[in-house]
């Protein structure tokens, strides 16, 4: 008896669904229409819609730009990683001939991959072109800068311990004033980047939650505003998915619009930063340029926004829509 009933219910459910299976085009057409309707509804109330989208945009722009900054930092430190080097400052009174002999000796060490000599004249030259102190430097009658040997260790000796051993060995040479391991602060920077990455992850999670709440609240208000309409459509045979659909599309549009705004904000911010960063990179003799959102990241941003919008409205709809039943 129960089985017969189940069969009958299954059959009638199939009959309910049959039109949808038979006419997928109509089904898709209806989706497109609802999507456009939801967009039109936002367009007819431009100010509140834009405000919601702007809040979402700012909330998404914050973690995106932080992430992007971090990515650039990482790229920057990464470009130094491979050529972890020792800057060896020589004592002031070391004559040029002794300096070159020393350079030749160190170059011959098995730990050393390459060595570059920066004479005091070269150093002064560079410093005056990049620092903006050229006139001040001209006022000096004597070059205050020491000669520097830039020592790049063999790859086997770039590890922290080996590099430090090399540093100690060089420090013991009588001509040497100071041997600075550039690797140390690269490592420190990397450690900090790792901490920042976690921090950003946390901030992203919190802001994603904020986006969910903003969209959820917007959709809740929209449901309230359309309470009577929901009741009427349910009275004349609308299914829950039918009633749900326009609100889900609203959420989707809000998320997408917010993500697009976020992208605009981030792009504008980085455009403003690009020039000073290029100048700074010039100071460090680097051809580093600030990288704005690559297309893949833009895709991820848009997808995240859309998904958050959909999820936020889904939650709101689930909480508030089922409570509305005609009576």
> What's the CA dihedral at 32, 296, 56, 223 to 10 degrees?
20
If we measure between CA atoms, which residue out of 101, 127, 103 comes closest to residue 114? 103
Min separation Cβ 62 and other proteins, Å: 37
For residues 78 and 190, what is the distance between their CA atoms, to the nearest angstrom? 9
The pair of three-digit structure tokens given for residue 266, joined into one six-digit string: 């981030």
Q: Which is nearer to other proteins, 201 or 232 (CB)?
A: 232
Burial string for 17-26 (b: 16+ CB within 10 Å, else e) reads eeeeeeeeee
Cα distance between residue 230 and residue 32, in whole Å? 20
> Smallest distance, Å, CB 263 to other proteins?
34
Least Cβ distance, residue 10 to other proteins (angstroms)? 11
Minimum distance between the CB of residue 231 and other proteins, rounded to whole angstroms?
8
**Residue nearer to other proteins on the CB measure, 13 or 75:** 13
Nearer to other proteins, 185 or 242 (CB): 242
Rg, the chain, Cα only:
33
Closest separation between CB of residue 49 and other proteins, Å? 17
Stated as kind and residue range, the H or E segment containing 56 is: helix 46-81
Q: How far is CA 106 from the centre of its chain?
A: 42
Smaller CB separation from other proteins, 34 or 273: 34
User: If you search the block for the tokens 């000599």, which residue do you land on?
Assistant: 117
Q: Are 102 and 179 in contact (CB under 8 A)?
A: no
SS3 316: helix
Beta carbon of residue 18, minimum distance to other proteins (angstroms, whole number): 11
Give the E-state strand segments of the chain in sequence order. 86-90, 112-118, 148-153, 176-181
Backbone phi, psi, residue 321, to 5°: -80, -40
Instruction: Give the shortest CB-226-to-other proteins separation in angstroms.
Output: 9
For residue 83, give both structure tokens. 């050529």
Q: Which is nearer to other proteins, 43 or 242 (CB)?
A: 242
Q: How far is the CB of 47 from other proteins (least distance, A)?
A: 19
Contact 113, 154 (CB under 8 A): yes
Residues lying near other proteins in the complex (CB under 8 A) are found at 9, 12-13, 16, 19-20, 23, 26-27, 29-30, 228-229, 231-240, 242, 326-327
Closest to other proteins by CB, 232 or 283 = 232
40, two tokens:
């039109």
Q: How far is the CB of 9 from other proteins (least distance, A)?
A: 7
Structure tokens at 62: 């914050």
């Amino acid at each position: 008896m129960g089985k017969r009933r189940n069969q009958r219910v299954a059959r009638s459910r199939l009959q309910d669904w049959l039109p949808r299976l038979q006419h997928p085009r109509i089904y898709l057409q209806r989706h497109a229409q609802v999507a456009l309707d939801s967009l039109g509804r936002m367009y007819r109330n431009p100010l509140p819609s834009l405000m919601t989208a702007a809040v979402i945009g700012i909330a998404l722009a914050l973690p995106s730009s932080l992430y992007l900054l971090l990515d650039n930092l990482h790229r920057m430190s990464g470009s130094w990683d491979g050529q972890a080097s020792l800057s060896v400052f020589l004592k002031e009174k070391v004559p040029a001939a002794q300096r070159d002999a020393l350079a030749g000796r160190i170059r011959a060490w098995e730990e050393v991959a390459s060595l570059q000599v920066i004479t005091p004249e070269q150093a002064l030259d560079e410093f005056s072109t990049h620092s903006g102190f050229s006139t001040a430097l001209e006022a000096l009658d004597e070059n205050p800068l020491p000669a520097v040997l830039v020592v790049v260790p063999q790859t086997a000796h770039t590890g922290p311990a080996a590099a430090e051993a090399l540093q100690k060995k060089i420090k013991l040479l009588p001509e040497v004033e100071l041997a600075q391991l550039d690797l140390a602060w690269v490592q420190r920077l990397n450690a900090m980047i790792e901490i920042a990455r976690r921090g950003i992850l946390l901030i992203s999670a919190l802001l994603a939650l904020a986006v969910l709440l903003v969209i959820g609240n917007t959709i809740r208000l929209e449901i309230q505003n359309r309470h009577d309409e929901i009741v009427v459509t349910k009275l004349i045979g609308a299914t829950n998915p039918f009633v749900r659909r326009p609100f889900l599309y609203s959420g989707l549009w809000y998320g997408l619009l917010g993500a697009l705004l976020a992208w605009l904000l981030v792009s504008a911010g980085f455009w403003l930063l690009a020039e000073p960063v290029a100048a700074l990179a010039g100071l460090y003799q680097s051809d580093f340029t600030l990288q704005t959102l690559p297309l893949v990241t833009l895709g991820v941003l848009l997808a995240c926004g859309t998904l958050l919008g959909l999820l936020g409205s889904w939650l709101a709809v689930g909480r508030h829509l089922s409570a509305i039943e005609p009576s």
